[in-house]
Amino acid sequence: MIHTIKYKHGHIRYEEQGEGFPIVLLHGFMESLDIWDDLAAELSKKYRVIAIDLPGHGKSSVLEPVHTMDTMAESVKFVLDNLNIEQAAIVGHSMGGYTGLQFLKDYPERVKCLVLLHSTPFPDTEERKKVRDEIILQIKHGKKVQYAKDFVKQTFAEDNIEKLVRPIGFMKIIALNTSNDGIIAALEGMKLRPSYKEVLEKTEKPVLWILGKKDKFIPVDVYKNLDLKENVEIAILENSGHQGYIEEFDRVLGLLESFFARCNN
């Protein structure tokens, strides 16, 4: 069931289904809770699944000119507080992973375990910040439509594009429906995000880090620059770009179900 709750001077939308151990799904940049439809439907057979529209995305309000990862994490906490959920598994895709890491940093007692899906604990490089500034200019100059279409296509592995025409089209619609202000606020926030290297290296929480071998945004070997403990599991998707939960749905579902069974043990 989809709900909208008042938050600050706006509102946050979330969807809840299933019962049992709570799992929170956090989408990425220019996405919405709707990207999780298929995955949430399967997970909700065993778990209580909460998918959230992060601020400025989907049907959640733009709260500030800059949506820092603190702002994103605060909105997640607000939803969990509203649902009386003391602890949950957090699953974050890309920008949702940055939010998940910030949530782990700010509210470690609220995290049972963490899944990073095509995400990274490292901050933007200066080069990446310049790229984000260029995108902001494109959006301000009325070029969102072309940017959104190109961006979504780039998130998929080249050899999956023809096979996944319908989901790619669906993702494009979500991206195009993201407001200019929401896009810019998220870009500004991602530019400012800190390093979560120490958070990931020091946490005792179970972590599953899923990476795509054909990802154009997150290097598949990014984890090699970290001193990780045994509680952090790495899974490589051989045939995925940045959207493994679509490109290799069954593989990702299996990884998640196995991880959650151990996490909730």
- 229-252 pLDDT, tens digit per residue, is 999 999 999 999 999 999 999 999
Of the pLDDT bands very low, low, confident and very high (cuts 50, 70, 90), residue 129 is very high
Q: What is the DSSP string of 125-158?
A: PHHHHHHHHHHHHHHHTT-HHHHHHHHHHHTS-G
**Could you identify the residue written with the tokens 């899906």?**
117
Domain 2-263 = CATH 3.40.50.620: no
% residues pLDDT > 90 (the chain): 98
> Mean pLDDT across the stretch 125-148?
97
> Mean pLDDT across the stretch 133-140?
97
> Mean pLDDT across the stretch 257-263?
95
CA distance 205 to 248: 26
Q: What is the pLDDT of residue 63?
A: 96
Residue 265 pLDDT > 80? no
> Would you kindly state where each structural domain of the chain is located, as residue ranges?
2-263
> Mean pLDDT across the stretch 250-263?
96
First and final C-alpha spacing in the chain: 27
Residue 2 pLDDT > 80? yes
Of the pLDDT bands very low, low, confident and very high (cuts 50, 70, 90), residue 44 is very high
Residue 125 pLDDT > 80? yes
Which of 228, 239, 84 shows the shortest CA–CA distance to 157?
239
pLDDT digits (tens, 9 = 90+) for 159-201: 999 999 999 999 999 999 999 999 999 999 999 999 999 999 9
